[in-house]
């Protein structure tokens, strides 16, 4: 996968998170798990490349990913049993994100540092979208912000002006799909705007070079410059004085 991850892949990966309840205390463990899996799987994949194990590479990767999820689940149970119980088998969903966004199936690998940098950069960008996705679902849908704690859940409740929030729709699965559609539109617009800004300096190179040449020529008093707009010759004050003295000598 190229370094510039298409918006489509980010949104496709977000769709797999729709079945998870729209609570931030579920989203934070998922974000940590995604980055943990991306880091360990990149190292494991590089080890398989060194050992030149290609025939069963996909099988080994899947077994490793499942094993890492089980290991992370035990840590989560030790930290917050309630959150681990609420997520249940949903903890295996981040495996799809890691396989979709990571660079594990290309034939020609770069060195470990570049591959690790590329995969972790992609994982961190995706983690930002996941965080915004869960945060918006909870704030808009429920009017709360909740964090996982060892004793359960720490929740901040915002004041509500409605008996039943009209935005509770975004906390549901159809509302989550609509929210992902909005994410896709915003990210596509930002991506196109960034491309325009990246290409804009290349649209006027001639004008910039002409101004620089005119400035250098005027400072050194080498040759008279020509006005770009009118085409008239521009003389320095010294040249005008010399020509004036020469003309007065001829009259005498």
What percent of the chain stands above pLDDT 70? 72
Residue 209 has pLDDT above 50, yes or no: no
| Residue closest to 66 by CA, chosen among 40, 31, 100 | 40
* Residue 87 covered by a domain: yes
Q: Say yes or no: 194 and 210 in one domain.
A: no
Instruction: Assign 243 to helix, strand or coil.
Output: helix
Q: Say yes or no: 18 and 135 in one domain.
A: yes
pLDDT at 230 (0 to 100): 47
Residue 35 has pLDDT above 80, yes or no: yes
pLDDT at 232 (0 to 100): 47
pLDDT at 244 (0 to 100): 53
pLDDT at 106 (0 to 100): 74
* Residue 137 covered by a domain: yes
Q: Say yes or no: 107 and 158 in one domain.
A: yes
Q: Provide the pLDDT confidence category of residue 76 given band limits of 50, 70 and 90.
A: very high
Domains held by the chain: number: 2
* Residue 97 covered by a domain: yes
What is the rounded average pLDDT for all residues in the chain?
78
Q: Say yes or no: 120 and 233 in one domain.
A: no
Q: Say yes or no: 193 and 239 in one domain.
A: no
Residue 71 has pLDDT above 90, yes or no: yes
Range of the domain at 242: 204-251
> Distance between CA atoms of 44 and 58, rounded to whole angstroms?
12
The whole model's pTM is what?
0.71
Q: Say yes or no: 214 and 180 in one domain.
A: no
Q: Say yes or no: 29 and 85 in one domain.
A: yes
pLDDT at 2 (0 to 100): 44
Q: Say yes or no: 60 and 74 in one domain.
A: yes
Query: Angle 12-14-15 (CA atoms, 0-180°, nearest 5)?
Result: 65
| Residue closest to 20 by CA, chosen among 105, 103, 133, 98 | 133
- Among 184, 201, 218, give the residue marking a domain's end: 201
Q: DSSP secondary-structure letter at 6? A: -
* Residue 162 covered by a domain: yes
Buried b (16+ CB within 10 A) or exposed e, 66-100: eebbeebbeebeeebeebbebbeeebebbbebbbb
Q: Provide the pLDDT confidence category of residue 67 given band limits of 50, 70 and 90.
A: very high
* Residue 92 covered by a domain: yes
Q: Say yes or no: 214 and 100 in one domain.
A: no
The strand ranges marked E within 3-92 are none
* Residue 1 covered by a domain: no
| Residue closest to 104 by CA, chosen among 67, 69, 57 | 57
Q: Say yes or no: 154 and 59 in one domain.
A: yes
Q: Say yes or no: 239 and 193 in one domain.
A: no
Tell me which range, 2-11, 146-155, 231-240, is most confidently predicted by mean pLDDT: 146-155
Q: Is 18 or 28 the better-scoring residue by pLDDT?
A: 28
pLDDT at 108 (0 to 100): 61
* Residue 154 covered by a domain: yes
Mean pLDDT of 147-159: 87
Mean pLDDT of 30-41: 94
Q: Provide the pLDDT confidence category of residue 65 given band limits of 50, 70 and 90.
A: very high
Q: Say yes or no: 145 and 30 in one domain.
A: yes
CB 22 within 8 A of CB 145: no
Of 81-85, 113-117, 122-126, 188-192, least confident by mean pLDDT is 188-192
pLDDT digits (tens, 9 = 90+) for 85-110: 999 899 998 998 888 888 887 766 66
* Residue 185 covered by a domain: yes
């Amino acid at each position: 996968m190229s370094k510039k991850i298409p918006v489509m892949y980010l949104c496709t990966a977000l769709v797999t998170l729709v079945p998870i309840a729209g609570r931030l205390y579920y989203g934070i463990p998922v974000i940590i798990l995604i980055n943990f899996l991306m880091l360990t799987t990149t190292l494991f994949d590089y080890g398989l490349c060194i050992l030149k194990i290609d025939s069963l590479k996909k099988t080994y990767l899947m077994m490793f990913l499942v094993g890492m999820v089980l290991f992370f689940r035990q840590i989560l149970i030790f930290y917050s049993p309630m959150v681990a119980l609420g997520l249940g088998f949903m903890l295996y969903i981040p495996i799809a994100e890691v396989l979709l966004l990571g660079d594990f199936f290309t034939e020609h690998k770069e060195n470990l540092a570049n591959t690790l940098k590329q995969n972790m950069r992609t994982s961190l960008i995706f983690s930002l979208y996941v965080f915004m996705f869960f945060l918006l679902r909870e704030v808009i849908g429920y009017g709360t912000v909740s964090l996982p704690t060892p004793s359960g859940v720490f929740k901040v409740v915002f004041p509500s002006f409605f008996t039943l929030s009209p935005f509770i729709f975004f906390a549901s699965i159809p509302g989550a799909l609509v929210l992902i559609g909005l994410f896709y539109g915003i990210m596509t617009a930002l991506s196109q705007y960034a491309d325009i800004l990246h290409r804009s300096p290349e649209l006027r190179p001639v004008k910039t070079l002409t101004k620089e040449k005119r400035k250098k020529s005027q400072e050194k008093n080498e040759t008279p410059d020509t006005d770009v707009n009118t085409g008239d010759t521009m003389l320095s004050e010294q040249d005008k004085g010399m020509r004036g003295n020469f003309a007065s000598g001829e009259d005498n």
